[in-house]
Amino acid sequence: MSKQSKQTAISPCRADDYPEWYQQVIKASDLAERSSVRGCMVIKPWGYGLWENIMRVMDSLFKTTGVKNAYFPLFIPLSFLEKEAEHVEGFAKECAVVSHHRLEKGPEGNLVPAGPLTEPLIVRPTSETIIGDSFAKWITSYRDLPLLINQWANVVRWEMRTRIFLRTSEFLWQEGHTAHATREEAEERTRLMLDIYAQTAEEYLAMPVIKGHKTPSERFPGAVDTLSVEAMMQDYKALQSGTSHFLGQNFAKASQITYQTAAESEEYVWTTSWGSSTRLIGGVIMTHGDDNGIILPPKIAPSQVVLLPIIRKPKERDAVMHYTESLAQELKSINYHGHAIQVEIDNRDIGGARGWDWIKKGIPLRVEIGPRDIDAESVYIGRRDKDPKDRQSISRNQFVRELTTVLDDIQISLFERALALRKAHTQHIDDKRQFIDFFTPRNQEKPEIHGGFAYSHWCGAETCEAQIKNDLKVTIRCIPIEADQEKGTCIYCNQPSTQRVVYAKAY
Ligand SMILES: [Zn+2]
């Protein structure tokens, strides 16, 4: 970019320092901030409103498949976690442990933990074992199956290096847990929930995803198979945006979840678990944000429209506010995908900064209303997916009539833009040299900038996968579900391979 590049609201811009741009966008959009508690975030109202809408979308999609919500304890006895060997090993390094249950005055008058627990409690990093304990009580017969439960909760994974929404010690998520009579049914459920994550990402978050299987080394600890959806961010790195696990009978055996069949034999159930988190907000920021802030897909934006009354003289106030409020009422009566349009009125007396505040916050439509607009029965609108200067005057009636169409158009344009970026930075690569070049940063000062996603062959050996990760910091994001079997040779070791996998750097 030339030195004369236009002024942007976010500094640095994406091209100059993508990781820092991400932090600055979060600050400027008022979504969240770092907490005084190490590694934890405070989600502010604009960010939480976004999460509430994502929750609402997923919750209703889950429920259409028969899932019901419930709630389980925050604390998990250590012995529960130990029931599944791979599971405890996978989470051991990031557990917050409760070891005492009260405080006492110490020798220097300060408070110190006292009353050691006979068995330490783990603050849940995930709930397979504590939910398994309940499932063992709830399930006795084949008539109790399938059991389809979801929990909206917080979890804690003690992260050493944190980044808001992407990696924090505490985060919000949903975790679904199901139990089934047969392997086939559990596998079908695993796939069904992955499809719901893909639908949420693509239809609501306007974030195109690739569905696939994780390699054994990237599986959820204790799972037989892990499926994931993977999205490309604007720095061409992958973001895992939801995972669905087929757990086989591993957790059923660990928690003794059995049922009596119609023929009166005793069998272990087959279980699944699936989760997605506030990480999705990080995905929305990195998929749609630009150098002026975030851009929110209208279907999940906390509000779709902000009205900005322009009052230059005190005597104009009444007329402008009346016009603004009556327009707000009219807009709120419009149904947008099953819900009322949400409208903000911003009449703060801060001049042009108001418009920029909403640009940074990513609201889909800004509507300015001044005395001249009232005389002409018009409004002056700006779309967040267009250049901030690109605004137009249209009649109030036309605006109201076409509002949902315009919002749908923004939603689609965001998806198309993200899909085009992914297509432009995805390659089929069969030459090792080319593969290495693809993932080598073009500029040593900006190590994050590289090629993108490579569809290349993999022999299936974990050693080869580990070598690639070590050499290039590239991992196999998934073995795509919607891809044809194709004979080839491994990109790294030349051994035979039956399918291409998706290689990328990842968050
Ligand atoms: Zn290989």
How far is Cα 132 from Cα 79, in angstroms, rounded to an integer?
A: 13
Burial class (CB in 10 A: 0-12, 13-18, 19+), 15: middle
Q: Which of 86-100, 338-352, 381-395, 431-445 has the lowest mean pLDDT?
A: 431-445
Determine the pLDDT at residue 52: 98
User: What are the helix (H) ranges across 68-162?
Assistant: 78-81, 85-91, 128-138
Residues with Cβ within 8 Å of residue 39, at least 6 apart in sequence: 158, 159, 162, 168, 169, 170
| Residue 121 token pair | 């409690």
Percentage of the chain beyond pLDDT 90 is 90
User: What are the helix (H) ranges across 430-506?
Assistant: 432-439, 462-472
Count the neighbouring beta carbons within 10 Å of the beta carbon of residue 242. Answer: 28
Spacing, Cα 494 to ligand 1 middle (Å):
6
Look at residues 390, 384, 393 and name the one whose alpha carbon lies nearest to residue 362. 384
Spacing, Cα 455 to ligand 1 middle (Å):
14
| Residue 22 token pair | 């991400």
Determine the pLDDT at residue 274: 98
pLDDT digits (tens, 9 = 90+) for 97-126: 999 999 999 989 999 999 999 999 999 999
Spacing, Cα 430 to ligand 1 middle (Å):
12
Determine the pLDDT at residue 349: 84
- Say if residue 194's pLDDT is above 50: yes
Instruction: Give the β-pairing of 475-480 and 500-504.
Output: antiparallel
Q: How far is CA 422 from CA 141, 231, 281, 480, in A?
A: 48, 8, 19, 15
Strand partners, 179: 147, 271
End-to-end CA distance of the chain: give it in Å, rounded.
26
Q: What length is written for the chain?
A: 507
Q: What angle do CA 321, 322, 325 make, to 5 degrees?
A: 80
Residues with Cβ within 8 Å of residue 307, at least 6 apart in sequence: 324, 327, 328, 343, 344, 345, 346, 367, 369
Count the neighbouring beta carbons within 10 Å of the beta carbon of residue 314. Answer: 7
Percentage of the chain beyond pLDDT 70 is 98
- Classified as helix, coil or strand, 285 is helix
Q: Are 238 and 232 in contact (CB under 8 A)?
A: yes
Give 449 or 456, the one with higher predicted confidence: 456
Q: Which domains does the chain have, with CATH numbers?
A: 18-288 (3.30.930.10), 305-412 (3.40.50.800), 426-504 (3.30.110.30)
Spacing, Cα 463 to ligand 1 middle (Å):
8
Instruction: Give the β-pairing of 335-336 and 339-340.
Output: antiparallel
Spacing, Cα 459 to ligand 1 middle (Å):
4
Question: In the structure, what pLDDT confidence band is assigned to residue 320 with cuts at 50, 70 and 90?
Answer: very high
> What is the maximum span of the chain, computed from C-alpha positions, in angstroms?
84
Q: Are 302 and 46 in contact (CB under 8 A)?
A: yes
How far is Cα 197 from Cα 174, in angstroms, rounded to an integer?
A: 12
Q: Give the pLDDT mean for 319-327.
A: 96
In eight-state DSSP terms, residue 388 is T
Look at residues 354, 351, 373, 350 and name the one whose alpha carbon lies nearest to residue 363. 354
How far is Cα 176 from Cα 200, in angstroms, rounded to an integer?
A: 15
Spacing, Cα 438 to ligand 1 middle (Å):
18
pLDDT digits (tens, 9 = 90+) for 271-286: 999 999 999 999 999 9
Spacing, Cα 497 to ligand 1 middle (Å):
8
How far is Cα 177 from Cα 182, in angstroms, rounded to an integer?
A: 15
Spacing, Cα 454 to ligand 1 middle (Å):
15
Spacing, Cα 491 to ligand 1 middle (Å):
7
Determine the pLDDT at residue 448: 61
pLDDT digits (tens, 9 = 90+) for 291-307: 999 999 999 999 999 99
Spacing, Cα 233 to ligand 1 middle (Å):
27
Burial class (CB in 10 A: 0-12, 13-18, 19+), 169: buried
How far is Cα 229 from Cα 281, in angstroms, rounded to an integer?
A: 15
Strand locations in 157-304, DSSP E? Answer: 170-180, 210-213, 225-232, 238-246, 258-260, 266-268, 270-277
- Say if residue 484's pLDDT is above 90: no
pLDDT digits (tens, 9 = 90+) for 51-63: 999 999 999 999 9
Spacing, Cα 36 to ligand 1 middle (Å):
46
Determine the pLDDT at residue 373: 93
Spacing, Cα 458 to ligand 1 middle (Å):
5
Spacing, Cα 439 to ligand 1 middle (Å):
17
Spacing, Cα 492 to ligand 1 middle (Å):
5
Burial class (CB in 10 A: 0-12, 13-18, 19+), 17: middle
Determine the pLDDT at residue 447: 62
Q: Give the pLDDT mean for 314-342.
A: 96
Average pLDDT, the chain: 95
Q: What is the 3-state secondary structure (H, E, C) of 13-43?
A: CCCCCHHHHHHHHHHHHCCEEECCCCCCEEE
Q: Give the pLDDT mean for 458-479.
A: 96
Spacing, Cα 457 to ligand 1 middle (Å):
8
Spacing, Cα 68 to ligand 1 middle (Å):
43
How far is Cα 398 from Cα 288, in angstroms, rounded to an integer?
A: 28
pLDDT digits (tens, 9 = 90+) for 4-54: 346 789 999 999 999 999 999 999 999 999 999 989 999 999 999 999 999
Residue given tokens 């693509």 in the structure block: 202
